[in-house]
Amino acid sequence: MHTPTRHVTRCLIGGIVALLPIGGTVLGVAYLESLLSESWRSEVSWYFPGLGLILAIAVIYVVGLFVTTFLGRWLWRRADLLLEKLPILGSLYQSLKEVLGYDSKRDRFFESVVAVAVDDGFEIGLVTGTAPGPNGEEHAVVFVPSSPNPTNGRLILLPKDSLKKLDLRAADALRGLVSMGKTPLKS
């Protein structure tokens, strides 16, 4: 039996993890909007509410345009290497890239995406490694995340032949879980 304090703490942490990306985006856009309104309102006659949102979208577009060119990809890789070498933030940056499946030169955090059979269908699972099972044979260690908060889930040992490998990247599977299936699961 769980104590009420443990239950409340678990729910609060789960809520924070689920709302953090949304909150970060809203706060970032609100901060940009307030920064622009404070500095530009008196100096520029053409300022209007929402200019910060438009500028945020424009910055995201320009970064996307930049990283899709040859020179941009080269410069992005250099910046990526520099970020990885930072003392404390570098390891956090590397871990985040591995979990999201964006790091192609190292061993990935998740080896593959699989379908795990349940009573009436399949669940998405992420293979993290192998371990000996109860009978001594090699089993896959599979993390089956919950939706929409994939930081919760269960870790199970399954025989490798009982898994159906999916042609998906871990990042795409996680994106589908967070969106509760609204983002199509495609490779």
Q: Does the structure show a pLDDT above 70 at 43?
A: yes
**Tens of pLDDT along 79-103?**
888 888 888 877 777 766 666 555 5
pTM of structure: 0.48
**Residue limits of CATH 2.30.30 in the chain:** 112-178
Whether the Cβ atoms of residue 111 and residue 130 lie closer than 8 Å to each other: no
The reported pLDDT for the residue numbered 91 is 74
- Cβ neighbours for 171, distance < 8 A, ≥ 6 positions apart: 100, 101, 102
The reported pLDDT for the residue numbered 174 is 78
Residue corresponding to tokens 């969106």: 179
Q: What is the CATH number of domain 112-178?
A: 2.30.30
Average pLDDT over residues 22-32: 77
